[in-house]
Chain A
Amino acid sequence: MHRIPLRTSLIYFIVGTTGIVATDLLLHYVFQIDRGLTVAIAKGLLFVAVSSLMLYLMIRKNYRKLRRSEKQYRALFENNPSPTWIYKLADQRFLAVNEAAVQKYGYSRDEFLSMTCLELRPQEDVERFLNFVGTFHDEYQTAGTWRHRLNNGEIIYVTINTYPVDFNGEEAALVIAEDITKRLKTEQEAEQKSKKLEELNEKLLEKRERLRYVQKLAKVAGWEYYPDEDRLVGADEILGLFSAEDKGSPTYAELFEAIIPEDLPKVLRANKQLLRTGQKTEVSYRIRWNEQLRYLRQVGEADLLDGVRILRGMVQDVTAMKNMEKERDQAGSTLSRTLDSITDGVIELDRSWRVTRVNKAFEKLLEIEAGKVVGLAVLDVFPDAVSLKSFPEYTNVMEKGSVSRFEEYYASREQWFFVTAIPTQEGIAVYFKDITEHKRNEEQVRIWLHRYESVAKATSEAIFDFDLKTMMLIWNQGLERIYGYGPEYQETPLSWWEERVHPEDRQRASESLDKGIRNGSTFWSEQYRFRCADGTYKYVEDSGHIIFDSNQEAVQMIGSLRDIDELIKANAENKRLAEIITKVNNVIVITDVEGKISYINPRFTEVTGYTFEEVAGRKPGEVLQGAESDPQTVRHMGEAIRARQFFSVEIINYTREGRKYWMQIDCTPIYDDFGNHQGFIAIQNDVTERKEREVLLQEHVRILKEISWLNSHEIRRPVTEIMGLMYLIKDSDSELEKVELYGLVNEAAHNLDRIVREVAMKAYSLYGEKSLGSTDKLF
């Protein structure tokens, strides 16, 4: 190939040389123009030679360029990543294919070169191709999308770019195919997807529409709030909840303003919490819209959507529910008011034995507060309920749903209740009626009846049943046994009784009975003499219990006529003794076991000034002792009393007015017939005078002592002085001194005289005024 420039140059050189030589020779030989043949030929040959060389060089240069570009072109062709080939336009035979085509289509290069373009496509596309080739013109063009078949039979879609080339001098076309199968597929899929999406969307819209209806029915509206933008989505839905007219979408602020001011804080609080913690919150509030009050329940949760904070939730219009609740509450409160006004205590329990309600009466009855028990398990509130006899009853009512009525005694409260347990929808309701009083009465009656029966058999009593309406007395056998009245007297009018009361006692007894019945007391008792069948009188104690009907009217008296004749007679002796006791000069105090005064005789009052009422139940010591009562004596008395021993003391006591007096007390423990200690009897003597005398005596002794001291000291002093002086005189030789000493003796004698007088005076001053009988004896 690279010989082409040389060849071209050589051809030119040969042609040029031949031309030059021929023409020069022709000129020389034909036309005989001789201007130097040799030179002319040489000049011509040189020109040709030179120009040939130049031509060679030029051509070679161009050719090299061409070759380089061809190389580039081939490389472009060969290395093109898209399948590329060249075919002959005339017969559509492949002239060249690149590596990418071999790879893509699966034919080897040789197979390609033996094929035509027609074989590359499905049969139905051949006509279109031939048409295209027919209209093929000399410029680059995009031929659109074609279907090609690969060696393995797979059909691919390619877009074709083609332009005409001259391939080794033949009209050919270069084709660059780009496989767009995948892209196409993706596109198709995308299209399908979008189609589906559309369908879905449509469905969604439909659903949303449906949701709207549902929401409207349920009065629920969804909302989304973007706090960063302060944007509320779904406000229209919220509005739609309670407003039929379409006013457009209200803003968050507008909705907010409609919230009832009292509820605003809790909404804010909930929202704040929602914003802060992101936790689900629920808040109920009221909103006023178009003069209408609506109750809204709002549930919200926080979310992040593409990094944007978002609160979403739903709002439910619960106005209707609230109204119903209100109505229910009203009905409920009416019910509970009714319940509260029931005087029976009512407690309601649910099936899990929890207290659901108690009424006011129950609170009062059991002294508990409803607030403290409602919601608690009943056994936590009344732990001792298990031990109740009636406990199984409650279980029965709860389980079998039957009504149960019974009485129950609550020992811990000392109360009787009539209990009605009724099954309710929720559990049971128990009605408590406090029948303690009633029970007590019943018990009382029972006790009395029992007594009546037992007493009937007793020895010393005649039992009667006195009908206050008919004024008839019914007696038991006691009347015969004790008082000698036979069976014919089993029923007697009151007058029969009156006739048999001793005339002296009759009026008193009758009046007392009348009074007893009339003044509403339940017990009456009187003592009188009652005439027996044999005409003798017996002392009796008549006592009876008066029974009232529901109108508080006395209707009956059950009583006994007790024979106390012997007692009274025995008492007569006692009475005599008692009389003595009351009349003696001794102060008598009787105390009970505890040392408290149970009896004093009149003398006690005379001496101390205290009446029985003032000292009854007090200890004698605390009443009578005072500042000067000797503590040691008091102690001694206390010890003796504790040891239940006799004691005799003398002690200073004080009267009511505070006057001091001396008491000599002999105190003896007393015992009953069975040896039981009953207390003390203290016989006391007022020994004030004796004591005073004693004190005086002591005083006398003291004075005597004083006088004897005076005698020994005051009087002896001048005496010793005189004696001393006399010794001096005796010893003195000096007359002068003796005279002096005599003078002193004289002085001392006078002194003595004065002192003796003084002593006498003192003695008189001490005793002179006092009228003591014993004074003479003292001196």
Chain B
Amino acid sequence: MIDNLLIIEDEEDTISILKRLVSANQFAKNIHVLRNGKEGIDYFETLTLEKNTNAPDLVLLDIHMPQMNGWDFLEWFTIRHKQEFPNTSVCMITVSDDPKYQQQASRYSCVVELIQKPLSRNHLSYLRQFQVHRKRLY
């Protein structure tokens, strides 16, 4: 079970399903939900300012969002994450099956996976395992 999960997703329905799925599988202790990339940036900026060490262990990041989409958020986050949030991983979630997305996602080191919606229990267990590995690795 990871400590902090951050969901950046604009679809209310998806959020509620995700929440249910996460709690049903006891995937994370704390779930924080943000509606778009811009909010994501603000959130991380606040963390930096408050020297809050409770950075999310995992970010579930949607791609298509209003105001700022997932890619733009990633552009910003990539620069910051190594220095300030080295323990935060990003998992991108999208409804699209566009193969370009896979390619694009692979360019960002912070992205561990791009998962086509909907998320299943298997996805979560995979992510959980990845997190465990990751902790061991670092």
A residues sitting closer than 8 Å to B (CB atoms) are: 712-713, 716-717, 719-721, 723-725, 727-728, 731-732, 744, 748, 751
B97 to A: closest C-beta gap in Å: 6
Chain B residue, CB-CB nearest to A718: B13
CB of B42 closer than 8 Å to a CB of A: no
Chain B residue, CB-CB nearest to A716: B95
CB of B121 closer than 8 Å to a CB of A: yes
Is there an interface contact between B119 and A712, defined as CB atoms closer than 8 Å?
no
Q: Which residues of B contact A716 (CB under 8 A)?
A: 95-97, 117
Distance, CA A748 to CA B120, complexed state (A): 17
**Residue from B11, B20, B25 whose CB has the most chain A CB atoms within 10 Å:** B20
Mask of B110-138 contacts with A, CB within 8 angstroms, 1/0: 00000011111100000000000000000
Distance, CA A744 to CA B15, complexed state (A): 13
Is there an interface contact between B96 and A713, defined as CB atoms closer than 8 Å?
yes
Mask of B14-26 contacts with A, CB within 8 angstroms, 1/0: 1001101100110
Is there an interface contact between B24 and A724, defined as CB atoms closer than 8 Å?
no
B22 to A: closest C-beta gap in Å: 11
Chain B residue, CB-CB nearest to A740: B20
Additional A-B contacts beyond A720-B118, A724-B14, A724-B118 (14; CB < 8 A):
A712-B95, A712-B98, A713-B96, A716-B96, A717-B14, A720-B95, A721-B13, A725-B17, A727-B118, A727-B119, A728-B20, A728-B24, A731-B24, A748-B13
CB of B64 closer than 8 Å to a CB of A: yes
Is there an interface contact between A713 and B95, defined as CB atoms closer than 8 Å?
yes
Distance, CA A751 to CA B12, complexed state (A): 13
Q: Which residues of A contact B119 (CB under 8 A)?
A: 724, 727
Distance, CA A740 to CA B11, complexed state (A): 19
Chain A residue, CB-CB nearest to B63: A713
Distance, CA A731 to CA B120, complexed state (A): 10
Q: Which residues of B contact A723 (CB under 8 A)?
A: 117-118
Is there an interface contact between B13 and A727, defined as CB atoms closer than 8 Å?
no
Distance, CA A233 to CA B64, complexed state (A): 126
Q: Which residues of A contact B121 (CB under 8 A)?
A: 727, 731
Is there an interface contact between A717 and B95, defined as CB atoms closer than 8 Å?
yes
A686 to B: closest C-beta gap in Å: 40
A739 to B: closest C-beta gap in Å: 14
Chain A residue, CB-CB nearest to B98: A712
Q: Which residues of A contact B95 (CB under 8 A)?
A: 712-713, 716-717, 719-720
Q: Which of B91-119 contact A (CB under 8 A)?
A: 95-98, 116-119
Distance, CA A367 to CA B4, complexed state (A): 102
Q: Which residues of B contact A721 (CB under 8 A)?
A: 11, 13-14, 17, 118
Q: Could you list 12 A-B pairs, sorted by A, with CB under 8 Å?
A: A713-B96, A719-B95, A720-B14, A723-B118, A724-B21, A724-B118, A725-B17, A727-B118, A728-B17, A731-B121, A744-B17, A748-B13
Q: A717-B11, A731-B24, A748-B13 are in contact. Are A724 and B117 (CB under 8 A)?
A: yes
**Residue from A712, A717, A732 whose CB has the most chain B CB atoms within 10 Å:** A717
A738 to B: closest C-beta gap in Å: 12
B114 to A: closest C-beta gap in Å: 14
Distance, CA A584 to CA B117, complexed state (A): 62
Is there an interface contact between B64 and A713, defined as CB atoms closer than 8 Å?
yes
**Residue from A713, A720, A723 whose CB has the most chain B CB atoms within 10 Å:** A720
Q: Which residues of A contact B13 (CB under 8 A)?
A: 721, 744, 748, 751
Query: Which among B64, B98, B117 is the interface contact of A720 at CB below 8 angstroms?
Result: B117
Q: Which residues of A contact B14 (CB under 8 A)?
A: 717, 720-721, 724
Q: Which residues of A contact B11 (CB under 8 A)?
A: 717, 721
**Residue from B11, B95, B120 whose CB has the most chain A CB atoms within 10 Å:** B95
B83 to A: closest C-beta gap in Å: 34
Distance, CA A725 to CA B64, complexed state (A): 21
Distance, CA A712 to CA B121, complexed state (A): 23
Q: Which residues of B contact A731 (CB under 8 A)?
A: 24-25, 121
Q: Which residues of A contact B17 (CB under 8 A)?
A: 721, 724-725, 728, 744
Chain B residue, CB-CB nearest to A709: B96
Distance, CA A731 to CA B96, complexed state (A): 25
**Residue from A716, A724, A728, A751 whose CB has the most chain B CB atoms within 10 Å:** A724
Q: Which residues of A contact B25 (CB under 8 A)?
A: 731
Q: Which residues of B contact A727 (CB under 8 A)?
A: 21, 118-121
Distance, CA A712 to CA B18, complexed state (A): 20
B104 to A: closest C-beta gap in Å: 15
A574 to B: closest C-beta gap in Å: 61
Mask of B42-78 contacts with A, CB within 8 angstroms, 1/0: 0000000000000000000000100000000000000
Is there an interface contact between B97 and A712, defined as CB atoms closer than 8 Å?
yes
Distance, CA A720 to CA B116, complexed state (A): 9
Distance, CA A712 to CA B25, complexed state (A): 28
Q: Which residues of B contact A717 (CB under 8 A)?
A: 11, 14, 95, 117
Chain B residue, CB-CB nearest to A721: B13
Chain B residue, CB-CB nearest to A719: B95
Distance, CA A748 to CA B17, complexed state (A): 12
Query: Which among A725, A732, A744, A751 is the interface contact of B24 at CB below 8 angstroms?
Result: A732
The 9 A-B residue pairs with the shortest CB-CB distance, nearest first, are: A724-B118, A720-B117, A716-B95, A720-B118, A724-B17, A723-B118, A712-B96, A727-B120, A717-B95
A711 to B: closest C-beta gap in Å: 10
Q: Which residues of A contact B20 (CB under 8 A)?
A: 728
Distance, CA A751 to CA B96, complexed state (A): 18
Distance, CA A731 to CA B95, complexed state (A): 22
Q: Which residues of B contact A751 (CB under 8 A)?
A: 13
Q: Which residues of A contact B18 (CB under 8 A)?
A: 724
Distance, CA A748 to CA B118, complexed state (A): 13
B27 to A: closest C-beta gap in Å: 12
Chain A residue, CB-CB nearest to B120: A727
Chain A residue, CB-CB nearest to B96: A712
B21 to A: closest C-beta gap in Å: 6
Distance, CA A748 to CA B97, complexed state (A): 20
Chain A residue, CB-CB nearest to B97: A712
Distance, CA A716 to CA B14, complexed state (A): 12
Distance, CA A712 to CA B116, complexed state (A): 11
B115 to A: closest C-beta gap in Å: 11
Q: Which residues of A contact B21 (CB under 8 A)?
A: 724, 727-728
Distance, CA A720 to CA B64, complexed state (A): 14
Q: Which residues of B contact A728 (CB under 8 A)?
A: 17, 20-21, 24
Q: Which residues of A contact B24 (CB under 8 A)?
A: 728, 731-732
Q: Which residues of A contact B96 (CB under 8 A)?
A: 712-713, 716
Chain A residue, CB-CB nearest to B121: A731
Q: Which residues of A contact B120 (CB under 8 A)?
A: 724, 727
B45 to A: closest C-beta gap in Å: 29
Distance, CA A728 to CA B118, complexed state (A): 11
Q: Which residues of B contact A712 (CB under 8 A)?
A: 95-98
B53 to A: closest C-beta gap in Å: 32
A759 to B: closest C-beta gap in Å: 14
**Residue from A727, A728, A731 whose CB has the most chain B CB atoms within 10 Å:** A727
Distance, CA A751 to CA B117, complexed state (A): 17
Q: Which residues of A contact B64 (CB under 8 A)?
A: 713
